[in-house]
Amino acid sequence: MEQHLRGPTPPPDTGEIVGRLKQLQEIDEWLRQHPPERPSPDRGRPPLLVLHGPAGIGKSALAARACRRHSSTTHWITLYDATRADVEPTLLRLLGESGAARAAIVRAAADDGRGFRRTLRHELAQRLRGRLLVLDGAAPPVVRALMSFLRHCPGLTVLVTSRRRTGWRRTGAKLLAVPPLSNWETWHFLAGNAAGSGRRSLELFWPGVVRGLPPLARVARALMADGMPRQWEQQADEPGPRWLVRLAVAGCTPGEQDMLRRLAEQNSAAPFTLRSVESLYLTDQHLPDVRSLLAGLVARELVQRWHGDDSYCLPEPVAEAVRRPGRPDRASAAVWAGRVLQDTAGLLDGRARPDSPSGREPERVAPRELVPDVDGFMALLTGDRGSRAQQDRIADGLAVLLGFLGDAHRLVALHRLRPTPPVRRALGSLAADLGLPQLAVTLFDAGSRVGPDAVHQSVVHHQSGRLGGALDVLEPLLREDAGPQDGHHRAWALTVLGAIRCDRGEVAEAEQALLRATTQHRSSGCWRGLGWALLHSARVCLLTGREADAARLLAEADKMLLRVADTRGRNWVMTERIRVALRRGGSEAALGPALQARQQHRAAEDVRGMAWTSLYLALVHLEENDLRSAYRELRTAETYFLECGDELGSAWAKHRIALLPLADSRNLSAPPLVSLGPAWDLFVEIGCPLGTAWTELEMAARRQPSELTLPLLSMAWEGFRALGDVSGQTWAAAVEGLVRKHLALGGPRTAKAFTASVPHDIPNREQLVRELTWFWEGEGEPGGRGIPFRARDTVVVRDTSPGFLDLPGPAAPRCHVRVTLLDDTPGEDTTARLLLRVSPENGHPWAASAGDRPWLTVTAVPLTRASVDPASALLRPSEQAGHGAEFRFTAHSTGTHRIRFTIALESTGTVLQQVETELDILDQDRRGGLSSPEAVTHRGR
């Protein structure tokens, strides 16, 4: 979550202040009499001070200087163009910037108007104690409406700057007029830049031209410092301020003059950012160097810095002097906002880039770069900026951005302004992320079966742990006859499908779905989607015991998520790193990532993330034989799962809590024996075959051996068989062997006799045999040794793929994969080109007609310290080199390097084959070479 949006907006840094010593003293005295931490005696109404005066008189600079002289937490909110429609968005923004909890306001969004306003008042009263609120440029009607919500906020102090002197009756406001600068103050400010004859003209002439306005005094100072132009006579009947600005503009370049006119035509005194200035050139064929032009205007004081290096303001006296008569152009800002928000949304969900009115393709703006413009985008929706279609585009893109940034308060404000389907979907997704799945479902279109609502529904079902329900939602969405759909919706649906299959223990199906999702996200330029697909691919690797691949994929996922500043996604990467560290380095290595992940999820208010982190932290404590701490963490996880509605997590927490007594039977602090029945019921209900099979197996292992146990073991074995999990089947056979041994029903009598029957072609057989021996020798019953906890975290799938490229249909003839090294002497840190072709044998349908050959997707993954570019490519089956796929391989060390190529049908994503090839990278005096590709087993069934 971006801290820029969750912390107070500070006062502007307007630079030195001209005069105003008396007014500063009066404001200081008023603030001392009404400190923010002291409740107001006026019936609880916050004390209110109004600085009023004409435009350009320096009210904002005066207020900013006064605020910086005090230590209170200050919220600065600019309201120059605000109307009553901006009241709720302003209050919600204020609540979000005060760090208020997000779940409460999201729940209130579903209430009627009265219930929502009651919650809003309550939250404001709880969060604004001891704060100073500055409403800059606010009109009396807007302030009155805001104060009706703020009147019950104890310890809040309000400072207002306004051009209006009247309209403040019955508000309890103290009025303080900000007059023009005196001639002496103007002269003193300009004196440092005058000398000789210029000093006399300063004394007699400049104060009358400046007319006591600080912005014009700054323009005059810059003009004098730069040297007066030769032709500086004042025209007849030309006002002094207009003449002064004309002189300053005459020294600008044509580009600077054009920018100044465009800024003045916006007719808004609100600050603007560098990005929003680019909107003024949206229809131009070429975008000028905006930063350089602004720097020139700032040097002449025609534009002034507002805050930092990317926020500016156009002084109203300058705007009035430059502005041409006619209606202001308000549409360009709306057109630009809609386009840039839609373009940035493409980085987050993969949608196609919108067409540019100018025909040029500007660089995509990263989400974090738009944070300073968020409130400006919101203001476009409350005024008369742009057409209805343009406002819908703004609301759509802004909803995606706010949901991604986790800004619940502004998103709720957007939902109350424009409750369009995209806005409702974004709010529903954020509600699910905050652990409110039931509320999230109500915000989606339940009748949608193939649109984006269906994708969001499947995500909510998955986050709720209802795996079967999520598959039911995805099935019509991913059918081949589902009709045309936006590709980015299908890519996200495949990502969710892969995550669901992984949670169910269906690793082959999960890999296929995630491979397709990765390819589609990569082709659409959706870095966020690619990051999440890689994250779930790492989870599949962990489930299949490939810790090295999981670590590599997590690093790639973190890199992709960092590109778009997806804080929530990176938090989940850290959570999965707990399991990698636990398997590779033990409990000590896993403790650090676990504590860091917990802290990050807590900061993001991600209850579900805290729940799974607590579950994994319990495994860390179990590795240390700390049963008491493990039990505490599992109970904590169970509470969190209940709070966020994750039934899959609840089932696994119940399952592991029930098994804790078997973790260390000698520990007298172990909790009493807990039934596995509730966990089994929940696994069956949500549709998790992996959890169901393991719970059935543990239920059978905990019972006293009898013939009634055998049917339950048969159910567990069948569940593992359906998943293709050889490890699970072996454990079921081990428990059955012990039962038969106790009942004298035949079978192996010793651990050695049983482990001899374990297949020799399964991965990690030696470790499995050691664990089976340890279990068998402990008799595997209550009071004895239980099945190791780590066993249920691994699905071992036997290798069955042949050494050729498998194709749908007849077994022969087949296709062969050929990899050719196009460069003779590959070396360290040099690029070697590899050409991969899929060659059909004679008689194969793909060899008969070039028109019938499908597109194939090839994904390249280096298995050593090297890089491959591109990561994936398309090819057609053919012997011709032009139909193959070329990859650029760069080795980062000498030695033998290995590359894995995964080949799939582009139309369906079905994985056909995986091959691996070795490339020798030797020192400079020796030649390297490429080995023939060999087929490897795709981890499927």
**758-791 pLDDT per residue, tens:** 777 777 788 888 888 888 877 544 434 578 888 8
Q: Are 257 and 249 in contact (CB under 8 A)?
A: yes
Give the model's pLDDT for residue 42: 58
Give burial (CB, 10 Å; 0-12/13-18/19+) of 154.
middle
How is domain 3-177 classified at the CATH fold level? Rossmann fold (3.40.50)
Give the model's pLDDT for residue 181: 80
pLDDT at 806 over 90: no
What architecture is domain 815-936?
Sandwich (2.60)
SS3 391: helix
pLDDT at 485 over 60: no
Residues sharing a CB contact under 8 Å with residue 268, sequence separation 6 or more, in sequence order: 80, 81
DSSP code string of 482-526: S----HHHHHHHHHHHHHHHHHHT-HHHHHHHHHHHHHHHHHHT-
Mean pLDDT, rounded, of the chain: 82
| Cα–Cα dist 480/494, whole Å | 13
Give the model's pLDDT for residue 424: 92
DSSP code string of 109-158: TTS-HHHHHHHHHHHHHHH-TTEEEEEET--HHHHHHHHHHHTT-TT-EE
Residues sharing a CB contact under 8 Å with residue 4, sequence separation 6 or more, in sequence order: 368, 371, 372
Give the residue from 753, 697, 698, 756 showing the smallest Cα distance to 721.
697
* Helix-, strand-, coil-residue percentages of the chain, each rounded to 5: 55, 10, 35
pLDDT at 480 over 70: no
Single-letter amino acid code for the residue at 635 = R
Q: Is the dihedral of CA 825, 830, 831, 834 positive or negative?
A: positive
User: Highest-confidence range of 10-14, 460-464, 761-765, 780-784, by mean pLDDT?
Assistant: 460-464
List the structure tokens of 916.
Answer: 């691996």
Chain segment 651-679, per-residue pLDDT in tens: 999 999 998 865 554 443 444 456 888 99
Q: Which residue has the higher pLDDT, 436 or 928?
A: 436
| Cα–Cα–Cα angle for 641, 643, 646, rounded to 5 degrees | 40
Mean pLDDT across 742-769: 78
Give the model's pLDDT for residue 657: 92
For the chain, the domains span: 3-177, 183-250, 254-442, 444-565, 593-687, 696-798, 815-936
| CATH of the domain spanning 444-565, picked from 1.25.40.10, 1.10.3720.10, 3.30.390.30, 1.10.10.60 | 1.25.40.10
Chain segment 594-638, per-residue pLDDT in tens: 999 999 999 989 999 999 999 999 999 988 888 889 999 999 999
Residue 235 banded pLDDT, cuts 50, 70, 90: low
Q: Which of 699-713, 818-832, 913-927 has the lowest mean pLDDT?
A: 913-927
Percentage of the chain modeled with pLDDT above 90: 32
List the structure tokens of 75.
Answer: 């919220």
pLDDT at 206 over 70: no
Q: Which of 441-455, 574-588, 704-718, 781-795 has the lowest mean pLDDT?
A: 781-795
Q: Are 941 and 508 in contact (CB under 8 A)?
A: yes
Residues sharing a CB contact under 8 Å with residue 726, sequence separation 6 or more, in sequence order: 720, 759, 762, 796, 797, 798
For residue 546, CA distances in Å to 218, 249, 541, 675 come to: 66, 67, 5, 33
Gyration radius (Cα) of the chain, Å: 34
Tell me if domain 3-177 and domain 444-565 are identical in fold.
no
Peptide bond into 689 cis (omega under 30): no
What does the buried/exposed string (b/e) look like for 763-784 if buried means 16 or more CB atoms within 10 Å of the residue's CB? bebeebbebbbebbebebbeee
pLDDT at 231 over 70: no
